[in-house]
Amino acid sequence: MMEISRLELDGRETVISIVSPGELFHRHEGCLDLLVVDGNTEAILPRDPAIPVVVVPSGEACKEFAVLEHLLGEFVRFGLRRDSTVAALGGGAVTDLAAFAASIYLRGLDVVLIPSSLLAMVDAAVGGKTGIDFRGHKNMVGTFHPAREVRIEPGLLRTLSDREYLSGLGEVIKTALLGEPVLLELLETRSEAILARDSLIMKDVIRRAVTVKCDIVASDFREQGRRAFLNLGHTFGHALEACLGLGKWTHGEAVAWGIARAMEVGQALDITDAAWVQRVKDLLNRYGYPITAFPAPAECLLQAMEKDKKRRRGGIGFILQTKPFTTVQRTVDGDIIRSILENRQEVRR
Ligand SMILES: NC(=O)c1ccc[n+]([C@@H]2O[C@H](COP(=O)([O-])OP(=O)(O)OC[C@H]3O[C@@H](n4cnc5c(N)ncnc54)[C@H](O)[C@@H]3O)[C@@H](O)[C@H]2O)c1
């Protein structure tokens, strides 16, 4: 077990470690009393797990109120008590659901997260946000409830589909751009090994990405300042997901596309260094993200951004970058965004 980080949030400590396969379900710090998995991650379990297992639907379908209710019912059925620990093995959807259920059951049980997708390893399982979707709104209902432990086993990535793997890499790239020069260089120079999921290099990549996320979250747990930087590429990305409908593009593809657009907004405002824009776009192209596509009408994207919670007086809130690893928040006039989405070269200031 290699500890990556010890994150103190709201008086609760989360220990984040890279573990070996034998340590995934280890009970070294108290019991794991119930394990939540989905139809895909169930296959990762030992044949006869010593812990009761609850299987929920895979993907976003598990973040539904009815599934939450079912899971809470299982907590009752298995007799979980105030000192019980709930574990979750899965992508970000399962870890969000299980951690949310644990956070409201008996006013909060301990949680151990075992993320199995790249996105969950570097993002969803780290930082204490939990939640489910509600009436068509993503992550509308949730809590801040940091896990006691996050156990990351990069070997679990072997069975993840290429699309889901690339989706997670989109968030890794974003994290590198925010402030990890060595990670950025690894992404630029070792793309073949990274795409081949080489476990040695992925340990290093995951460790570095998790460290950046921990630093940002530790400085701003409740997202009143710097944590918003983690939304680089997300204002455009969420709008694209809303216009295309869930599942057409993965979240990471949409974020990569959104990062390219955010770079263009920075250029249009004359605040972003042109060489940085080119370097970022070259990197996104290296991993095959469709960043030059204009897959949805500008009007739909603009409307989606205006509905988004990032809407502010005088424009839409964006996370932009001025130069390598330097991130800023700006409110941008809708006409500038429209020009970029219509892919015009001339942009009105
Ligand atoms: N809490 C947070 O801070 C936070 C941050 C980012 C994202 N999220 C949430 O995370 C979710 C997305 O997470 P995701 O990208 O992991 O998607 P996901 O959880 O939907 O998983 C994607 C698919 O991969 C499968 N899968 C996962 N691990 C596997 C493995 N090792 N082998 C084979 N199949 C595997 C899953 O069963 C699912 O079908 C969203 O709901 C998002 O809102 C939360």
φ/ψ of 250, rounded to 5, equals -75, 165
Sheet of 311-312: strands edge to edge?
A: 311-312, 315-323, 326-332
Query: Which stretches within the chain are classed as H helix?
Result: 65-77, 92-104, 118-119, 162-179, 181-189, 191-195, 199-219, 234-244, 251-268, 274-286, 298-307, 334-341
CA of 275 to the centre of ligand 1 (A): 34
Give yes or no for residue 112 CB within 6 A of ligand 1: no
- Please state, in angstroms and rounded to a whole number, the distance separating the CA atoms of residues 330 and 114: 36
| Per-residue buried b or exposed e for 6-34, using 16+ beta carbons within 10 Å of the residue's own CB | ebebeebebbbbbbeeeebbeeeeeebbb
Strands 149-152 and 110-115, by their bridges, are parallel
Q: What is the pLDDT of residues 32-89, one digit of tens each?
A: 899 999 999 999 887 777 899 999 999 999 999 999 999 999 999 999 999 999 999 9
| Per-residue buried b or exposed e for 115-146, using 16+ beta carbons within 10 Å of the residue's own CB | bbbbbbbbbbbbbbbbbbbeeeeeeebbebbb
Give yes or no for residue 206 CB within 6 A of ligand 1: no
Q: Which residues are catalytic?
A: 107, 129, 171, 213, 223, 227, 231, 234, 238, 251
Contact 19, 151 (CB under 8 A): yes
Q: How many CB atoms lie within 10 A of CB 277?
A: 17
CA of 113 to the centre of ligand 1 (A): 12
CA of 180 to the centre of ligand 1 (A): 24
Structure tokens at 11: 């008086």
Please state the atom number of ligand 1 nearest to the C-alpha of residue 59. Answer: 20
- Quick check: do 2-158 and 232-341 share a fold? no
φ/ψ of 140, rounded to 5, equals -75, -30
Contact 277, 263 (CB under 8 A): yes
| Domain-wise residue ranges, the chain | 2-158, 232-341
Q: What is the pLDDT of residues 80-90, one digit of tens each?
A: 999 999 999 99
Q: What is the pLDDT of residues 287-298, one digit of tens each?
A: 999 999 989 999
232-341: in CATH 3.90.105.10? no
Q: Who contacts 31 (Cβ-Cβ below 8 Å, separation ≥6)?
A: 84, 85
**What are the distances in angstroms from CA 241 to CA 153, 180, 252, 263, 335?**
29, 27, 10, 19, 21
Task: Label residue 229 by pLDDT band (50, 70, 90).
Answer: very high
Contact 173, 187 (CB under 8 A): yes
Give yes or no for residue 90 CB within 6 A of ligand 1: yes
What percent of the chain lies above the pLDDT cut of 70?
95
Give yes or no for residue 241 CB within 6 A of ligand 1: no
- pLDDT for 273 beyond 60: yes
Whole-number pLDDT of residue 349? 34
Give yes or no for residue 91 CB within 6 A of ligand 1: yes
Q: Taking all residues of the chain, what is their mean pLDDT, rounded to a whole number?
A: 93
Please state the atom number of ligand 1 nearest to the C-alpha of residue 118. Answer: 16
Q: What is the pLDDT of residues 184-202, one digit of tens each?
A: 999 999 999 999 999 999 9
- DSSP for 236-267, please give it: HHHHHHHHH-TTSS-HHHHHHHHHHHHHHHHH
End-to-end CA distance of the chain: 53
| Per-residue buried b or exposed e for 62-76, using 16+ beta carbons within 10 Å of the residue's own CB | bbbeebbeebeebbe
CATH top class, domain 2-158: alpha beta
CA of 44 to the centre of ligand 1 (A): 15
Give yes or no for residue 278 CB within 6 A of ligand 1: no
